Amino acid sequence: MAFSGLRGASSGLLAVLKKGSRLRRRKPSAKTQTAPAAHEQGPASAAIASLAPLTRIISQYLDSKDVERVKEAYRFSDQAHLGQFRASGEPYISHPIAVTEICAGWKLDAESLMAALLHDVMEDQGVAKQELAERFGADVAELVDGLSKLDRLDFATKAEQQAESFRKMLLAMARDVRVILIKLADRLHNMRTLDAVDPEKRRRVARETLEIYTPIAHRLGLNALFREMQDLCFHAVYPNRYAVLHKAMMAARGNRREVLGKITDAVKMALPAAGIEAEVSGREKSLYSIYTKMVEQKKSFSDVLDIYGFRVIVHTLPECYLALGTLHQLYRPVPGKFKDYIAIPKLNGYQSLHTTLVGPYGTPVEFQFRTRDMDHVAEEGVASHWLYKEDDATLNDLQKRTHQWLQSLLDIQSQTGDSGEFLEHVKVDLFPDAVYVFTPQGKIISLPRGATPVDFAYTIHTDIGNQAVASKINGEFAPLRTELKSGDAVEIVTSPASRPSAQWLNYVRTGRARSEIRHYLRTVKYEESVAFGLRLLNQAFDQLHLPHPADDDPEWEKLAKSSGASSREEILADIGLGKRLAAVVARRFAPENAMLATTAAAVDEITSTASAPILIQGNEGQAVQLAPCCGPLPGDAIIGGIRLGHGLVVHMAECAVAQRQRAREPERWIPVVWDTTTARHLSTRLDVTVINERGVLGRIAAEITEADSNIMHLTMQDDAAATALLHLTVQVDSRKHLAQVIRAIRHVPQVQKIVRIKG
């Protein structure tokens, strides 16, 4: 790593001593305590935090120069936290040392270890980022800054502050994965020492850890840390349940010792006999995983049988499959309990063969088969290959997957303005399980459980997602809301005329798909609103017989400043969305009374002036909507109402809803007519009463198809045995086309009555 701004150890220590009094005067944070009086200090607070264990660890893989740099960071941190104690009574410096020891266990580089030692000096002690950069280098300063929360800014709520702090940390992590590794080490040590805080804070921190940090640890493949965090959180949130389950586990361990011993001896004899040299170890499932299994499957502890498992570590990949076959001959496998994560690794890079065998006395036991390298990755994940490279060609598979996920955070951030929404998208992506589907080219794509073809489309490319109209799953057409299953081959059918629907947000599962859809809808709605607002404003200028102002007319800037808008486009968008009346804005450009406030009489003057109505095509987008209450079609007499925040809503002139709204706010209604060219495939509803005979529905569907229409939705009501009422939603081009469809339906002899539903 590049390093700049480093001073010699002696000069650095001298600088720290010179600043000692200033550092001691810094106000401690709420999570620390100032030193108690000498006569109040207990044994814990009198303890001295030692750097010796950390020095021994890092000396094994860092050179002497880097070790000295880490020691200098320790001296600075120790001086900065001088006089502060943790809630347990220990000197505060013991926490940064413990965090750094965890990082050293992953063999992180010197900059990471220095940042771990200094991770609280900016947040708690007010040390400037520039000061850290000058003393320890820009890399260390950036890491510490990414780890520091936004405590000194004003936020409306605690939740908003927390969400913005998470966003800052996750974006720093997207730039450099070492940020999250240090943060996870920090959170792990906090969880290990959580008994010192009050129960309410203990539960709050534990829930936050379960919601954010354990999924991130799992996502990065840090399984050992993931399991420990889960158990610590379980103990903090449900201490009584934890104690009862722990006691039951200890009892079960004694009861099943004989069974496990038999299995161990049999396996250790069978594998060498097959020529396989392996390391066999038994393990217990974590208490939290057993607890969640009991809750999800509504089982008691005695019903959860597979609480023990064995791990078989071999030298080569083929030996994994040979060992699996050997044990399948030794014990009977449980059908459906075999998973091959070697051929298809988990999203976090985990590779292993899983099988469940029925051991002696009918006890089910899980076995995992992996190589030593796979075991290393399984326990430490991305930390086992933590080096963050910019060149994708040099990344292994695990690093590539991590790199892609981190990049997706930046993509989501670029389309999300609100920190709470950003955090929501990230939480969606922190899924504990996945399904694996195939592209038409045979590439494997990992998606969260419950994902749909829409999620798949956006995973491939944003344009494919935006233009998706249908999907093929295993060669057959399927709705876009279909949940995908592992092994599905998925193909997306696209159309340049298609665009995302707001309804997709109801069933997408990935954060990327959700953010892309929302971004598109926001952008398109704004652009359409600007265009439609310009049409409305030009109509108002024509009614007042005023010239249309140029785009750079100074009056636009004056109007924007006086009304709180940022630009001409924002004013036009507000007109298109119904937030401003075109009449009011047009009046501001009248030369004789430029600043005259528009009165109700002025509005009446404009609305009563004869002028060309707005032309409606039916495909304008979100700025113009066809009212669902009456479903107007080209050929129907229509009227348009400007609805606040929604733009123009077009109703049939006879619509009762429109008439009531127009009576309340007449100034918001404008004349509209159908354009000569209108959109195709508009929806309308029909109620068809038929004699309830076999095959009648098929004949009606055939007639509708013959009339060049399509059934969008159908329900049937058959209260009487002799007749049935069909509720149809069909696609037509105009009122004339609808008449053709109705005539075609009448060809079916069983049809008794057809009614178009207009409200």
Active site residues: 123-124
List alpha helices for 495-641, DSSP H: 511-543, 554-563, 568-576, 582-587, 600-608
* Dist. CA 396–CA 413, nearest whole Å: 26
Instruction: State the angle between helix axes of 110-118 and 178-192 in degrees (0 to 180), rounded to the nearest 10.
Output: 50
Write the burial class of residue 265 (CB in 10 Å: 0-12 exposed, 13-18 middle, 19+ buried): exposed
Distances in Å between the Cα of 366 and the Cα atoms of 248, 258, 306, 345, 350 are 20, 17, 7, 18, 17
Within 10 Å of residue 257's Cβ, how many Cβ atoms? 10
Listing DSSP states for 144-169 in one string gives: HHHH---TTS--SSHHHHHHHHHHHH
Contact 74, 121 (CB under 8 A): no
Q: How many CB atoms lie within 10 A of CB 463?
A: 12
Do residues 247 and 410 lie in contact, with contact meaning Cβ atoms separated by under 8 Å?
Answer: no
Q: Is 691 helix (H, G, I), strand (E, B) or coil?
A: strand
Mind giving me the DSSP string for 167-232?
HHHHHHHHH-THHHHHHHHHHHHHHHTGGGS-HHHHHHHHHHIIIIIHHHHHHTT-HHHHHHHHHH
**Residue 34: Cβ within 10 Å count:** 9
**Cβ burial 206-234 (10 Å sphere, 16+ → b, else e):** beebbebbbbbbbbbbbbebbbbbbbbbb
| Burial environment of residue 512 by CB neighbours within 10 A (0 to 12, 13 to 18, 19 or more) | buried
What is the Cα–Cα distance from 185 to 383, expressed in whole angstroms?
11
Based on its alpha-carbon atoms, the radius of gyration of the chain, rounded to whole angstroms, reads 34
Cα-flanking dihedrals φ and ψ of residue 272, to 5°? Answer: -60, -35
Tokens read off for 85: 């104690």
- Asked if residues 91 and 154 have their Cβ atoms less than 8 Å apart, the reply is no
Cα 339–chain centre separation: 27
User: How far out from the chain centre does Cα 690 lie?
Assistant: 49
Q: Which residues contact 459 (CB under 8 A, 6 or more apart)?
A: 445, 447, 510, 512, 513
